[in-house]
A and B are shown apart, each in its own frame.
Chain A
Amino acid sequence: MLDVVRSTDAASAAEASRARRPRPLSGLAGLVRRLAGTRIGLVGLVIVGLLSLAALSAPWLPLHDPLDLMMEHRLEPPGASFLLGTDEMGRDIFARLVWGARGSLMIGVLTVAIGLSGGLFVGTLSGYYSGTLVESVLLGLMDIFAAIPLLVWAIAIVGIFGTGPVQLGPLLLPNEAKIILLVGLLFIPGLARVAHGLALAEAKADYVAARRLQGAGAWSIMTSDILPNILSPIFVQVSVLIGIGIIIEASLSFIGLGVQPPTPSWGGMLADARSLAFSDEWWVATWPGLAIFLAVIGFNLLGDALRTVLDPRRRDGGPAL
């Protein structure tokens, strides 16, 4: 970064004074400050922040071992020794919730990372080369992808390939890797369609024509001109999609096709609690469900705030699932 404050010549001083005024989107810190300025954004930031903190610091928190089967303490109600009670196998629910947050958040964030990079790549490329074969091939491919009901395909594909780990060169990847890749791929068409529409408009703009006259190559125009300009309306969707990724992961884990036991996961904990649906141990099924609810509502609030801050004219979208 340019150190504008210490520069002495007039031009830099003018630049410095301009830099001190709030700019529309001045990096991540500025965005966070503007999000925190809205009420829903603040609540969303607090929820997502606390959950991420808990997930990241899980190994250093004074928690019970989430895998420890304390059969003598099975189904203990919430209390002093077990904050949120224990499950049917005598495992501490609070510890399992905190450790479960790691998988949920990681899968949510990584699926969207894949969807976002794929969507931006396809969208920018097809928007820039509009009217050519590149556009029709890419959009046709996206139409096929978009005709896929996401959840059923995720269930079926994990079902076909099994829930075991995958050997990838020297790496032994757990089932989570499969889910991240799958759901990430299935996120691409929706994001690509939005990115395509935006890139199409940008590619026709005068400044792109000017850049072309300057002799800029297609790749350089796409990456340094079009991409930065279409980023914020796309970015609005990121938070909501992370929430959807979390729900999909929890659903898959719930039916036994997601995170594999004994690794703690919120969906898996609810699957264990199913057998207790009729008994009085209300806490076993309550906490993991609340955890999913809290995480998803946090990302949804953040998504609403992002829309207000970055793209106020755009109206609410429909369900993505």
Chain B
Amino acid sequence: MWFAGRIVSSLAVLAAVSVVLFALTRLTPLSPARIVLGADATAEQIQAFEHDRGLDRSLPAQYSAWVAQLPRSGFGQSYITGRSIDLELLESLPVTVELVAVTFLLTLAGAVPLGLIAALTEDRWPDHLIRMLSLMAVSVPGFWLALILIRVFAVKLGWVPPIGITPLAEGWYAHFTSLVLPALSIALYYIGALSRLMRAAVIEVLGQDYVRTARSLGLSRGLVARYVVKNALPPFVSVAGMSFGYMFGWAIIIELVFNLPGLSRALLTAITQRDYPMIQATVLVVTAMFIVSNLVADLIQRLLNPRLRHA
């Protein structure tokens, strides 16, 4: 029941966001007709173009027409390239999703243990070291890190290809290593931010009465650790889910540096070509990913925390 309500509200938010996005792409200073037909086009030609594509109708009418065609023909065609926007997204989205997924796994693999170690050694040197490193990690701009990583690991050491993505056909290992540098460029910031969060969550649980009781009863360290992690996870999960959504934004910048054929190329090309329907579709897809990842995080958080389930 809770989940149904959450889905409905997510859909409502997505619908509202799509209205905002639609309005923004229609409020542009330059008419798409002018972009496609060029500066020499006559007023009649412009009018005919706008009439054919319904651009001369009112904003609400245009929006409802756009929504009506979504289930039938998806996002339709780009004015500029004439290509199907859906096809374009089907080609580029998987690249970005894979990059973000690898980034997310790297982030968890780094942030969870580091946060745990810092919390368990609170105010001793490992804690101080980890906190200092995480503070530095959240201050490094990802695209600069990307340039450094390329220089060190690809150019100087030659361990990985500097740019591009090795196709899966050339083997798992080669494919994965070509994703490591871009993923690391995005992940470092989140490893820093999420390890701090994990540390704080674990320290809070460690201070609870039930942990003290468990310890004083002489329960094994392993068992106590299980209680602690289980109770520290819910706040961590919700922020991790949000981070998963945010990572798509950084992917746009980092993919550019590594020349990956993902959403970044689709969006930035659309921007230089002033291909508004394409910009609109790309941003809508990323926003939908963001909303869905928040939804999934909420769901997991509820499964982990029975108290929330009965609230």
Contact = CB atoms under 8 A, between A and B. Distances in A.
Interface string A310-321: 000001111101
B25 A160 contact: yes
A84 B253 CA distance: 27
A254 B139 contact: no
Given A251-B141, A270-B144, A297-B135, A149 B286 contact: yes
Contact of A147 (B143, B270, B279, B290): B290
The SS class assigned to the B binding surface is: helix
Given A293-B140, A293-B141, A315-B200, A160 B28 contact: yes
Contacts of B13: 143-144, 147
Contact of B268 (A143, A153, A255): A255
Contact of B144 (A243, A293, A304, A317): A293
Nearest to A254: B143
Contact of A161 (B28, B193, B246, B291): B28
B65 interface: no
Contacts of A149: 245-246, 248-249, 286-287, 290
Interface stretch (A67-75, A123-131, A272-280): A272-280
Interface in B275-289: 276, 279, 282-283, 286-287
A156 interface: yes
Contact of A250 (B141, B267, B276, B283): B141
A301 interface: yes
Given A144-B13, A155-B252, A319 B138 contact: yes
Interface string B204-224: 100000000000000000000
A257 B136 CA distance: 26
B14 A159 contact: no
Nearest to A143: B13
Contacts of A317: 197
A160 B24 contact: yes
Interface string B130-151: 0000011011111110011011
B144 A285 contact: yes
Contacts of A250: 141, 143
Nearest to A155: B252
A319 B148 contact: no
Interface residues of A, number: 46
Interface residues of B, number: 62
A162 interface: yes
B104 interface: no
B249 A277 contact: no
The CB with the most chain A CB atoms within 10 A, among B29, B141, B271, is that of B141
A319 B246 contact: yes
A254 B144 CA distance: 10
A247 B249 CA distance: 13
B290 A251 contact: no
Nearest to B291: A147
The CB with the most chain B CB atoms within 10 A, among A150, A251, A300, is that of A251
Contact of A160 (B142, B279, B294): B279
A106 B287 CA distance: 29
A216 interface: no
B189 interface: yes
B243 interface: yes
A274 B193 contact: no
Interface in B95-146: 135-136, 138-144
Contacts of A292: 141, 144
B239 interface: yes
Interface of A: 143-144, 147-153, 155-157, 159-162, 243, 247, 250-251, 254-255, 257, 267, 270, 273-274, 277-278, 282, 285, 288-289, 292-293, 296-297, 300-301, 304, 315-319, 321
- Which 10 residue pairs spanning A and B have beta carbons closest together? A151-B249, A318-B239, A159-B271, A289-B144, A319-B193, A297-B139, A315-B200, A296-B139, A316-B200, A316-B196
14 contacts: A143-B13, A147-B17, A147-B287, A149-B246, A153-B283, A156-B279, A250-B141, A274-B257, A282-B151, A300-B139, A301-B135, A315-B200, A316-B197, A319-B246
